[in-house]
Amino acid sequence: MSDFNIKLKNWIEKKPNPDAGINNIQIPGEVEHIVWQHRSHSPTKYELSLAHNLIEAFTGGAKSLSEVVKALNEQGMLLETGDAFTEESFKAEMARLGY
Amino acid sequence: MTMRNFNDAQEYLDYGLRNLWHPVLASWEVNDSPVGITRLGDNIVVWRDEDGKVHALEDRCPHRGARLSLGWNLGNRVACWYHGVEVRFDGVVEDVPAVASCPMTGADCVKSYHVQEVQGAIFIWFGIDDSAPDELIFPEQLASDDWSSFLCMADWKVNYQYAVDNVMDPMHGTYLHSASHSMYQGDRQADMSLRMTKTGFVFEKEGQTGVNFDWVEYGQTGAAWLRLSIPYQEKFGPGGSFWIVGYATPIDKDNTRVFFFRCRNVQGWERDTWRFLYRNYLEGLHWDVLEQDRIVLELLAPDARDHEFLYQHDVGITRLRRMFKRAAENQFGLYQAYQKSKENVDVVGATIHPAE
């Protein structure tokens, strides 16, 4: 089973298709489940690591923005650029990845 | 136009109540080609024009009955793959290219549906007659900018009434989902009570709010929805409980598409962080919980609803079933009357007088 949603990926460029006979018919009872409905690519190592470290930060009691950033830095979690997180860069990174 | 026939109110109910908006697809399912779906037993073709607007017609070419969803997307119309018959978004045949002059051209031959695309989903109005649709109003969790939400969909091989019963039964969380990320707390016994609201009713465990899956609300505001909240563990970040606004759309009498909007009251960096965690971690956990429901429901005894022994925890279920039954009896009569009124009208709207 795919770890991302291929249809979500395709949806980004939606234009009327000039071809017929594509057969996009959903037959009742013929089910293809999609678990990861909201991501259009497999998660990168960086994304998985950031998710793991965030959960660790929250588990440790971090609540405010400064506490979360402090916890990430203490855990050694770095931005993809190799820089440590600041409050501003963390907010920007979450805005990018948490659209 | 063909319309489904029902023998009685129960059969009508088994295919789903009408005069409601029902979500039918996620937005991302309608890309560049027409999509053929079955909802409430109707075959429907859904497509997107050049401007991204979504249209829906009965999925049946008026010529020979081929599914229009196999055909060409021509923007404001679809063309049948079989013989190229072009049907506009409003159901009128615009062209029959295989012949120079055809009486079908210009005739309103195909049922068209009112469509709205909102909250990342496509909603269709399943009206009994030609009246204008009701306004589609969402609960606060979807309507307010203070909340953030994700839609989760799944097709279950079960009649939609079982899916509704399942949500109307908060007690199952403590057992079925005891090994889940969110519903491992709460007493394994509870007294339940029911209170009416302006749009429906709330069914809840007494004195246990905020612990587990403790309450559920049924509401009807242009669409029929179910709402509940479930506590999140602190490790999943700020924002407190997450909420579900759910819709169970009948596919046919044996299959249901459930639409669960998962919502959280989060803003700013907290919103973004939840959305990031959801995409990369939480969605998988939520899916596992949903699978527990699907497995139990799909493997229920045959005709389980006909052989039940309900008790106090099932008051919410019985109340909603009564409401549905009454609505179905009322709608079945309206549906029959509407069908009868259309019996002797041909496709161009003229009354047909049977030969004397």
Helix (H/G/I), strand (E/B), else coil: B235: helix
Dihedral angle at the C-alpha atoms of B187, B191, B196, B202, nearest 10 degrees? 20
Please tell me which of the candidates A15, A47, A97 has its beta carbon nearest to residue B32: A15
Instruction: Give contacts of A47 with chain B, Cβ < 8 Å.
Output: 276, 280
Residue B66 in contact with partner chain A when CB distance is under 8 A:
no
Helix (H, G, I), strand (E, B) or coil at B45: strand
| H helix intervals, B157-226 | 160-167, 172-176
Q: By C-alpha distance, which of B246, B239, B191, B190 is closest to B217?
A: B246
Mean of the per-residue pLDDT values of chain A:
93
Within chain B, where are the H helices? 9-14, 140-143, 160-167, 172-176, 268-277, 283-298, 315-342
Residue contact A20–B70, C-beta within 8 A: yes
**Based on C-alpha coordinates, what's the Rg of chain B?**
22
**How far is it, in rounded angstroms, from Cα B134 to Cα B46?**
21
- Taking the CA of residue A40 and the nearest CA in chain B, the distance in Å comes to 10
Q: Is B313 on the interface with A (CB under 8 A)?
A: no
d(CA B70, CA B82): 9
Task: Output the CA–CA distances (angstroms, integers) from residue B110 to B2, B162, B243, B277, B324, in the order listed.
Answer: 8, 32, 39, 45, 29
pLDDT in tens, chain B (356 residues): 556 789 999 999 999 999 999 999 999 999 889 999 999 999 999 999 999 999 999 999 999 999 999 999 999 999 999 999 999 999 999 999 999 899 999 999 999 999 999 999 999 999 999 999 999 999 999 999 999 999 999 999 999 999 999 998 887 877 887 766 555 555 556 678 889 999 999 988 776 555 566 889 999 999 999 999 988 888 998 888 899 999 999 999 999 999 999 999 999 999 999 999 999 999 999 999 999 999 999 999 999 998 988 888 888 899 999 999 999 999 999 999 998 888 776 655 555 555 54
Cβ neighbours around B322 below 10 Å, total:
10
Tell whether B267 lies on the interface with A, counting CB pairs under 8 A: no
Q: For residues B58 and B111, is the Cβ–Cβ distance under 8 A?
A: yes
Tell me, what's the pLDDT at B356?
Answer: 42
Residue B72 half-sphere exposure, CB side, CA atoms within 13 Å?
16
- Find which of A3, A12, A27, A38 to mutate to test the B interface (most B CBs within 10 Å of its CB): A38
Among B48, B81, B281, the residue with its CB nearest the CB of A20 is B81
Residue B163 CB-density burial (10 A; 0-12 exposed, 13-18 middle, 19+ buried): buried
DSSP per-residue codes, B245-276: EEEEEEEETTEEEEEEEEEE---HHHHHHHHH
Mutate: best of A8, A14, A36, A46, partner B, most B CBs <10 A? A14
Its ipTM equals 0.95
Q: What is the pLDDT of residues A23-58, one digit of tens each?
A: 899 999 999 999 999 999 999 999 999 999 999 999
Those residues whose C-beta lies under 8 Å from the C-beta of residue B70, and which sit 6 or more positions away, are A20, A21, A22, A23, A25, B34, B36, B80, B81, B82
Q: Cβ contact (<8 Å) for B32 and A17?
A: yes
User: In sequence order, what are the residues at sequence separation of 6 or more whose Cβ sits closer than 8 angstroms to the Cβ of residue B196?
Assistant: none
Across the interface, of B48, B268, B284, the residue whose CB is closest to A14 is B48
Residue carrying the six token digits 């403790």? B214
pTM: 0.93
**CB neighbour list of residue B322: distance below 8 Å, 6 or more residues apart:** none
Any chain A CB within 8 A of the CB of B180? no
